[in-house]
Structure 1
Amino acid sequence: MSDNADQNARAPLAGPADPDKVATSPAPHSPGAAPMREMKADLVVIGAGSAGLSAAAGAAQFGLSVVLYEKGEMGGDCLNSGCVPSKALLSAAKAAAQVREAGKFGIETTPPRIDWEKVKLHVRTSIATIAPVDSQERFEGLGCTVIREHAKFASPDTVISPTTRVKARRIIIATGSRAFIPPIEGLANTPYLTNETIFDLPDFPEHLVILGGGPIGMEMAQAFVRLGAKVTVIEMGKALGRSDRAHAEIAIEALRAEGVTLLEGYKATKVEQDGKTIRVHTEPKDGEAWTVEGSHLLVAVGRQTVFDGMDLDKGDVDHDRKGIIVGDNLRSASNRRVWALGDAAGREQFTHIAGWHASVFARRAFFKQRTKADSLPVPAVTYTSPEVAQLGLTEAEAREKHGDDITTPSFQFEESDRAIAEADTDGEVKLIVRKGKLLGASIVGKEAGDLLQLVSVAMSNGLGVKELTNFISPYPTRAEGVKRAANAHYADVVFGKSAKRLVGLLQRIP
Structure 2
Amino acid sequence: MTRKVDVAILGSGSAGVTAMTSLLRAGKSVVLINSGPEGTTCARVGCMPSKALIEAANVYHEKTRMEMLGLNGAEGLSVDGQAVMGRVRALRDFLVNRFITGYHQKIDDSQFIAGHGRIVAPDCVEVNGERIQAGVIIIATGSSPILPPAFRALGDALLTTDTLFEEPDLPKSLAVVGLGAIGCEIGLAMARLGVEVHGFDAAPVVAGIKDPVIAEKVLELFGKEMEITTGTAVEPRLEADGRVTIEAGDRSVTVDRVLASIGRRPNITDLGLENLGVELDARGMPPFDPETLQIGDLPVYIVGDANGVRPLLHDSIEEGKIAVANILAGHPVPFRRRVPLAIAFTGPQVVAVGAQLDKLDPETIAIGTGAAMNNGRSHVRAETEGLVRLYADKASGRVLGAALAIGDAEHLGHWLALAIERGLSVAECLAAPYYHPVLEETLQMALQDCLTHCEGTLPFPPGLTPA
**TM-score, with normalisation over the residues of structure 1?**
0.82
Partners of 2:266 and 2:436 in 1: how far apart? 45
Q: Give the Cα separation in 2 of the matches to 1:242 and 1:411.
A: 21
Q: Which residue of 1 aligns with 2:465?
A: none
1:455 maps to 2:416: yes
Alignment pair present for 1:170 and 2:136: yes
DSSP-derived class of the 1:377 partner:
coil
Aligned equivalent of 1:134: 99
Match of 1:328 in 2: 290
Aligned to 1:21: none
Alignment-mate amino acid for residue 135 of structure 2 = R
* Correspondence for 2:197 among 219, 226, 231: 231
Aligned residue for 1:56? 20
Q: Could you tell me which residue of structure 2 aligns to residue 425 of structure 1?
A: 384
**Do the aligned partners of 2:265 and 2:308 also contact (CA within 8 Å) in 1?**
no
In the alignment, the residues of structure 2 paired with residue 196 and residue 183 of structure 1 have an alpha-carbon distance, to the nearest angstrom, of 17
Match of 1:390 in 2: 352
Alpha carbons 1:186, 1:270 under 8 Å: kept: no
Give the equivalent residue in structure 1 for 2:265.
Answer: 304
Corresponding position: 1:124 with 2:89: yes
Partner secondary structure for residue 339 of structure 1? strand
Give the CA RMSD over aligned residues: 2.8
Show the 5 A alignment for 1:13-412: 27=1, 38-108=2-72, 109-139=74-104, 141=106, 145-162=111-128, 164-184=130-150, 187=153, 191-240=157-206, 242-243=208-209, 244-258=211-225, 260-282=226-248, 284=249, 289-316=250-277, 318-320=279-281, 321=283, 323-334=285-296, 336-367=298-329, 372=334, 375-398=337-360, 402-412=361-371
* 1:178-231 CA distance string (max 9 Å, x none): 110124388366741111111111342111011112111111111111111111
Structure 2 residue runs of 5 or longer lacking an equivalent are 462-467
CA offset digits 1:259-310 (Å, max 9, x no partner): x01111221134222213211223x3xxxx2222111111111111112332
Deviation at 1:380, TM superposition (A): 0.9
1:10 corresponds to which residue? none
Q: State the shift of 1:348 in Å.
A: 2.7
Matched residue type, 2:345: Y
TM superposition shift of 1:163: 5.7
What is the Cα deviation at residue 65 of structure 1? 1.8
Q: Shift in Å at residue 340 of structure 1?
A: 0.5
Distance 2:460 2:20 in 1: 57
Q: Which one-letter code corresponds to 1:158 in the other structure?
A: C
Whichever residue aligns with residue 311 of structure 1, its letter is G
Report the counterpart of residue 416 of structure 1 in structure 2: 375
Q: Which amino acid aligns with 1:430?
A: R
CA spacing shift, 1:481–1:364, aligned 2, 3 Å: farther
Could you state the TM-score of these two structures normalised by the residue count of structure 2? 0.89
Tell me: CA distance 1:379–1:188, structure 2 relative to 1, closer, same or farther (3 Å).
same
Residue ranges of structure 1 left out of the alignment (5+ in a row): 1-26, 28-37, 501-510
Offset of 1:69 from its aligned partner?
1.4
Q: Deviations over 1:29-54 (max 9, x none)?
A: xxxxxxxxx43222211111121122
Matched-pair contact (CA < 8 Å) for 2:157–2:256: no
Aligned partner of 2:427 in structure 1 is: 466
Alpha-carbon distance between aligned partners in 2 of 1:486 and 1:369, rounded to the nearest angstrom: 43
Give 3-state SS (helix, strand or coil) of 1:266's partner.
coil
Greater mean deviation of Cα atoms: 248-257 or 145-154? 248-257
Instruction: Look up the equivalent residue of 2:450 and give its one-letter code.
Output: H
Contact 2:154 2:238 in 1 (8 A): no
Q: Secondary structure at the match of 1:414?
A: helix
Cα contact 2:388–2:402 (8 A) shared by 1? yes
Deviates more, 1:328-337 or 1:374-383: 328-337
Identity %: 24
Confirm or deny: 8 A CA contact 2:269 2:284 kept in the other structure.
no
After superposition, the Cα gap between the structure-2 partners of 1:201 and 1:310, relative to the gap in structure 1 and judged at 3 Å, is same
Report runs of 4+ in structure 1 exceeding 6 Å deviation.
Answer: 492-500
Larger mean Cα displacement after TM superposition, 290-299 or 355-364: 355-364
Shift in CA distance, 466/187, structure 1 to aligned 2, threshold 3 Å: farther
- Structure 1 residues 137 and 147 mapped into 2: Cα distance closer, same or farther (>3 Å)? farther
Q: CA contact under 8 A between 1:99 and 1:111: conserved in structure 2? A: no
Alpha-carbon deviation of 1:141? 3.5
The offset of 1:495, in angstroms, is 12
Q: Of 447, 451, 455, which residue of structure 2 is paired with 1:486?
A: 447
CA distance in 1 between partners of 2:358 and 2:294 (Å): 33
Counterpart of 2:89, as a letter, is R
- Structure 1 residue 123 displacement after superposition: 0.8
In 1: Cα distance, 2:87 partner to 2:218 partner: 26
Structure 1 SS opposite 2:273: coil
For the Cα contact (< 8 Å) 1:177–1:344, is it kept in 2?
Answer: yes
Cross-structure match for 1:503? none
Larger gyration radius, structure 1 or structure 2: 1
Partners in 1 of 2:49 and 2:218 — Cα distance? Answer: 22
Are the aligned partners of 1:156 and 1:314 in contact in 2 as well (CA < 8 Å)?
Answer: yes
AA paired with 2:213? A
Q: Which residue of 2 aligns with 1:20?
A: none
Q: Quick one: structure 1 residues 339 and 497, their matched pair in 2 at CA, closer, same or farther if it must change by over 3 Å?
A: closer
* Cα separation, 2, equivalents of 1:371 and 1:449: 31
Given that 2:292 and 2:332 are in contact with CA atoms closer than 8 Å, whether structure 1 keeps it comes out as no
